[in-house]
A and B are shown apart, each in its own frame.
Chain A
Amino acid sequence: MATVTAPRQSKDRVARVARRSLWLMRELPVIPLLVLAMLTFVAIFAPVLAPHSKLDPVKPTQAQCMARYEMANCPYVDNLPPFWLPQSSFSVPLGTDYLGRDILSRLMYGARISLVVALIGTLAAGVIGTWLGVLAGYLGGWWDQIIMRITDAWLTLPSLVFAILLSSVRGPGLWNVVLILTLVFWSRYARIVRGGVLGLREQDFVKLAEINGVKKRRIIWRHIIPNVMNTVMVVFSLQIGVAVIIEASLSFLGVGVPPPEPSWGLMMAQERESLMEGRWWLAVFPGVCITLLVLSANMLGDWLRVRLDPQLRNR
């Protein structure tokens, strides 16, 4: 009989899994996912896709040099307008910046910086924060008191202020920004994960494992961590947007990613004077890029939160 019932069960199982995954995919945020995928693609293949160098000025044509300087040869032409304005050229579709560098290429490499910094920073913070939250929640007692008091104190400072304090000591630098994001953000994971673990600890399957004499380390790895992963993923996706904004803000203030690297925030800071002369696009292009990235990450995060957090599901 077993041989007869087994396939039927597995068929049901397949159907159940399919139904469940279909249900999970309901209202999937397609546009944000597409935007994120596109930005990631551009970031990975920036060296192939970018039409020009990110650091060197674009070699101008003779006509451009004549139009600007009335000379046949010039090293570069700065502040070329984007394609819809007169005097633009299609080899530099979004124009050039104040040093004659191609804006489009710099934006592409900028995606790389934003994504790398935000992803690594948030991931490192997630690993540390989750681990401390699990320790505090599961071990309880003094561990809990010490870790949570430190977390609370850590959370009192607004993240940008905290980041500025650390960057005032570390100075500018890409990896410094990653370190700063890690140091600032771990506490958010710790607080939320600990709350989840406190609930899990009282559940029957954890109690049973304890009664059966399973080692604490094994309980944490097999039962606690897999069950808090949902929460961690929600926090992770919501923190990425914040991390991108913090990186852009630090770079805008001149203590994030140092020039000449093309960070979006830095590009906006460098074009303050162009704004006053009417070249608004120089600040708007990077700003739109930041907004698109953060907006998509936030929408994905909101969707995940509604999907993965049962208390919010029916709102």
Chain B
Amino acid sequence: MRTFLLTRAFYSVITLWLLVSIVFGLVRLTGDPVKMKAEAGADEAYMQQLRQDWGLDQPVYRQYTNFLGNLVRGDFGHSFTKSLAVRTIYFDRLPNSLKLGLAAFAISMLLGVPLGMLSALKPNTWLDSLGKMFALLGLSMPGFFIGLVLVIIFGVELGWLPVLGKGRSAFVWGEPSTWVTFWFQDWQYLAMPAFALGWYFSGAMLRITRSSMLEVIGSDFIKLMRLKGIPEWVVMAKHALKNSLIPILTLAGLNLLVMINVAVVIEVVFNWPGVGQLLYDALVNRDFPMVQGVVLMSGLLIVVLNFVIDVLYAYTDPRIRLSR
């Protein structure tokens, strides 16, 4: 087990290092951030100043080592437009994204998993086709389209729900009184963005639940239980579901992270002040360090989560840890 942990940790570090290098390399290959920042006829002195500030006048290998060194110390650079550390701004926005992400996650689980189970229990029936259609639509409609349609129906035509923003409740790191109330207030602002974000992921959950359940139902030990005369619902609820949970939970974990980090278009449509909108604002204002910081942060979280998933797999399934 220990060797396994060490190998996986080593692989994760390598992946992280490669990811950072790829971001560094691609950014420098595809364009010059200084030119981009100063495109609208900035004078040469200003551009020179910028180059110096970012250390872009140094040779590439120095830039690279500086970049790596700063990241290791947790320094993601400074925002252009807000003159604050990227890290500070990111962590200020994170609770909002977390709130939206968790709500969308709950929707995707509550819709996706039961529907997927029903589809697997009754394959090739009308129920199955309905589930298939639901999943396909969710996977095929861009999130911003679902969002706009919801706004049109519930915001403009019916006027039931507010169309913009996240309400008044705010999360403040230094104020414990907001730590609980934040999550339960102003849910009417949350309903539409959470559903627009959640539909796509419930489609994905439905599919993986269905295929994973089908695989388990077709396996020998389920057949044996049926032969032994154990009631069908016990077989399904107790044994089939339990054994098909691993891929479902893996995807769920990854989805949660993706929802928190990439709800860009949804957050823009609903003006939700989360990490995604931060990314969008940075993109529009050409705040390059901010874009890079948010992207690296989401990459970091995903690598860490992948490592955790690997460890949990190995912990639950001895075949995995013995095979390496």
Contacts and interface: CB of A to CB of B under 8 A. Distances in A.
Given A165-B23, A249-B144, A298 B136 contact: yes
A183 interface: yes
Given A164-B283, A169-B27, A149 B18 contact: yes
Among B145, B163, B258, find the residue whose CB has the most chain A CB atoms closer than 10 A. B145
A252 B144 contact: yes
Interface stretch (A5-13, A207-215, A272-280): A272-280
Given A149-B15, A248-B142, A287-B142, A167 B283 contact: yes
B264 A160 contact: yes
Looking at chain B, what size class is its interface with the partner chain?
A: 35 or more
A244 to B, nearest CB: 9
Nearest to B207: A302
B33 A169 contact: yes
Contacts of B19: 153-154, 156-157
Given A253-B283, A275-B148, A298-B139, A161 B30 contact: no
A170 interface: yes
A153 B23 CA distance: 10
Contact of B18 (A150, A248, A275): A150
A291 B279 contact: no
Given A154-B22, A275-B152, A295-B136, A164 B142 contact: no
B8 interface: no
B98 interface: no
B22 A161 contact: no
A166 B26 contact: yes
Nearest to A269: B144
A294 B30 CA distance: 29
A156 B148 contact: no
Nearest to B292: A165
Contacts of B295: 157, 161-162, 164-165
Interface stretch (B64-72, B175-183, B296-304): B296-304
Looking at chain A, what size class is its interface with the partner chain?
A: 35 or more
Nearest to B144: A252
Interface in A59-73: none
A241 B140 CA distance: 7
A152 interface: yes
B26 A290 contact: no
A245 interface: yes
A249 B142 contact: yes
B298 A157 contact: yes
Interface in A293-311: 294-295, 298-299, 302
A166 B284 contact: no
Given A169-B27, A253-B265, A276-B163, 16 more contacts: A152-B18, A153-B15, A158-B298, A169-B31, A169-B33, A179-B30, A253-B280, A254-B284, A283-B148, A283-B149, A284-B149, A290-B141, A290-B145, A291-B142, A295-B136, A315-B123
Interface of B: 14-16, 18-19, 22-23, 26-27, 30-31, 33, 36, 123, 136-137, 139-145, 148-149, 151-152, 156-157, 163, 211, 214, 258, 261-262, 264-265, 268, 279-280, 282-284, 286, 288, 291-292, 294-295, 298-299, 302-303, 306
A156 B142 contact: no
Contacts of B156: 275-276, 278, 280
A150 B11 CA distance: 11
A256 B145 CA distance: 17
Contacts of B27: 165, 169
Interface in A111-166: 149-150, 152-154, 156-158, 160-162, 164-166
A3 interface: no
B142 A153 contact: no
B291 A165 contact: yes
Contact of B279 (A161, A169, A183, A241): A161
A149 B299 contact: no
B140 A295 contact: yes
A150 B288 contact: no
A196 B30 CA distance: 32
8 contacts: A161-B262, A168-B288, A169-B30, A169-B36, A252-B144, A287-B141, A290-B145, A315-B123
